[in-house]
Amino acid sequence: MKDKLTLQTTDKPLPCKIVNAAQRLLQLQFQTEGLQPSYAKAYNMQPVSGPAVQIHSDLLARHCFTTCYRNGRQQIADSDPAKMSLPVRDQIEVLYKNVVKSPLNDMEYLQADIHKFDNTKMREHLTKCLENRWMTEFPKLS
């Protein structure tokens, strides 16, 4: 119940516990590497060798974002890449070191407007996904 209230409080960042619960659902639904605890220290991250996705909880910057490796390219979806703290940069270096020569330098930043999500419905949708124990596509703006 406390976690549901936290999800409904839009002015607070998502706790790692909730981010990790979402990643766990994604692990159950999709065959991919990554999806390790979002708050893990870099030395606890397992390098990936194929298609992967990772949600990062940047506790210092109070910010979440996603990285992935697919089709031979490493990508990051982040509304503000300048906010990325050193511990998260270290996570990225370790996670993708087996598939990309220079993970931080070779990263392709996805345009924030490629997927225009309806931010007013994001937390409500995530709550439903967690309650149903199944992730579905997040609502986009028309």
CA distance 51 to 73: 9
Ranges of H-type helices in the chain: 2-8, 16-29, 86-96, 122-132
CA distance 84 to 110: 15
Q: Is residue 138 part of a domain?
A: no
- Domain count of the fold of the chain: 1
Q: How many residues does the chain have?
A: 142
Q: Is residue 117 part of a domain?
A: yes
Q: What pTM, to 2 d.p., does this model score? A: 0.78
CA distance 17 to 33: 20
Q: Is residue 139 part of a domain?
A: no
Task: Provide the β-strand partners of residue 77.
Answer: 66
Q: Is residue 140 part of a domain?
A: no
Stretch among 5-14, 104-113, 115-124, 132-141 having the lowest mean pLDDT: 104-113
CA distance 55 to 100: 18
| Mean pLDDT on 105-129 | 78
CA distance 10 to 28: 27
Q: Tell me the per-residue pLDDT of 93-108, one tens digit each, with 9 for 90 and over.
A: 999 999 988 887 877 7
Q: Give me the domain span that covers residue 99.
A: 2-132
| Mean pLDDT on 42-67 | 86
| Highest mean predicted confidence (pLDDT) among 7-21, 69-83, 85-99 | 85-99
